[in-house]
Homo-oligomer: A and B are copies of this chain.
Amino acid sequence: MRQDLFAQRVNPDVPSALSGLFSPDDDPRALSFAAGSPREDLFPVAAMQTAFHTAIAAGGAHLFQYQTAQGNPALRAKLAARIGKWGQVATTADNVVLTVGGQQAIELVAKALLNVGDEVAVEVPTYIGALAAFDLYQPTYHAVPLQADGLDLNRLEDTLKRHPKIKLLYTVPDYHNPTGITMSMAKRQQLVELANRYNFIILEDSPYRDLGYTHAPLPAIKHFDTEGRVVFVSSLSKILMPGLRTGWLVADDDLLTAILRGRMASDLEANNVVHAAINAYLEANDLDAHVAALRASYRGQCSALVQALTTYFPDEVAFTHPDGGFFDWVTLPQNVDAAALLTQAAIPQAHVSYVSSTNFYPARDVHNSLRLCFTGLTPAEIDAGMRRLGAVVKAAVREGRPVV
């Protein structure tokens, strides 16, 4: 109605990366592998209830007063120590900003860096929410493919040579969303060297780094940062609870200042009540033990998915074998459209939903893949869902033509 007055960034003719992503299915048999939701029955609800009580008792009225844009210093110190221990990032509370989930951290980095038309490199496929945040600033995208050991750095360097004005590279190096791939140690260091040489910022988004099923987390890309070029982003959504809406970033020098300035103008402050409660939770509980319990569960769910894909899917279909995180990436034959399969067969016949591949590409130009999230469902549900999805995938492959 008022569309003539809208900004270009919310042009309703442009598909939004995050809107309408999840198709409703009210059938009682419905199983969603779409949303990247953690397992609710592992949430430490009672401990967090106690933590809110403790934090409010300790903080009193002043806890509820205006505070700071950067957020609770004690929690920042704990997160700095945590990424020091598990990611070998030498930093302190002074360089940590508490954000509204990892999503706000990504948006704030985009806000600090991107003018309309600025050039951004992203690995593809990539996190949908990052594309949505970048889209707000109307960049020009350069897509760089992933390999089994992470971003293809040769392709990245080719791109940088052709487009030397690229100012930001976005990557999810650990148990990548949507593929589950982890970037090798060697590539982490080489990526920082490229950033130094070609003068760009690396946005390292690592919400899944603690959820490796076979080995401890690798050093962060930011561990190799020599010029304050890496902004490290993580979140408590996947290792604690997403409803806390708490992410965080580590940045240096003027870039930290610019990010904080954008934060104040965007929503003034971090949520000090929630962050004091999280701090109280961390003081009274062992987060590493909680994360170990998550890993044990998710490892089993991941195995169930890989087993089910092996059993029920035809040989023409490829899929990743994640060793951490939330997701598996399934590649159908070139001529099968995953989005059409979703709405025409997967949901109505199999009552299974997933996210189809176009959403993970800035150019929306890859149609035959899909993301499965295995963390929200039991092994039995995973088996049942993949059995049903496998049947419709087999039919689509057999038909040898797009399901349109």
Contact = CB atoms under 8 A, between A and B. Distances in A.
Interface stretch (A15-23, A310-318, A378-386, A393-401): A15-23
A316 B41 CA distance: 68
A192 to B, nearest CB: 14
A104 interface: yes
A253 to B, nearest CB: 5
Interface in A43-59: 43, 45, 48-49, 52-53, 56-57
Nearest to A112: B10
Interface in A314-328: none
A49 B53 CA distance: 6
B136 A266 contact: yes
Given A12-B257, A132-B265, A265-B18, A243 B100 contact: no
Contacts of A43: 61, 64-65
Contacts of A101: 267-269
Interface stretch (A75-83, A270-278, A282-290, A359-367): A270-278
A267 B103 contact: yes
Given A116-B116, A258-B6, A66 B37 contact: yes
B19 A45 contact: no
A200 interface: yes
Interface in A11-36: 12, 16-19, 35
Most-contacted residue by chain B among A4, A17, A269 (CB, 10 A): A269
B262 A136 contact: yes
Given A6-B258, A66-B242, A265 B53 contact: no
A290 to B, nearest CB: 13
A175 B228 CA distance: 45
Contact of A17 (B18, B229, B265): B265
A56 B64 contact: no
Contacts of A241: 64-65
Interface in A152-202: 167-168, 199-201
A244 interface: yes
Nearest to A42: B61
A41 B61 contact: yes
Contact of A199 (B5, B200, B252): B5
B107 A265 contact: yes
A268 B199 contact: no
A163 to B, nearest CB: 14
A113 B61 contact: no
Contacts of A254: 1-3, 6, 12
A166 to B, nearest CB: 10
A202 to B, nearest CB: 11
Nearest to A255: B2
A270 B243 CA distance: 9
Contacts of A258: 6, 10, 12
A318 to B, nearest CB: 29
A378 B133 CA distance: 44
A85 interface: no
A64 B45 contact: yes
B262 A10 contact: yes
Given A10-B111, A10-B258, A254-B2, A265 B60 contact: no
14 contacts: A5-B113, A5-B199, A7-B118, A9-B111, A19-B264, A40-B64, A43-B61, A52-B52, A64-B241, A64-B243, A65-B242, A101-B269, A129-B268, A244-B273
Given A40-B65, A49-B52, A100-B267, 8 more contacts: A7-B114, A18-B268, A37-B65, A49-B57, A100-B100, A100-B271, A245-B269, A274-B274
Closest 10 CB pairs of A and B: A64-B243, A64-B241, A100-B267, A132-B265, A104-B267, A10-B258, A40-B61, A49-B56, A43-B61, A18-B264
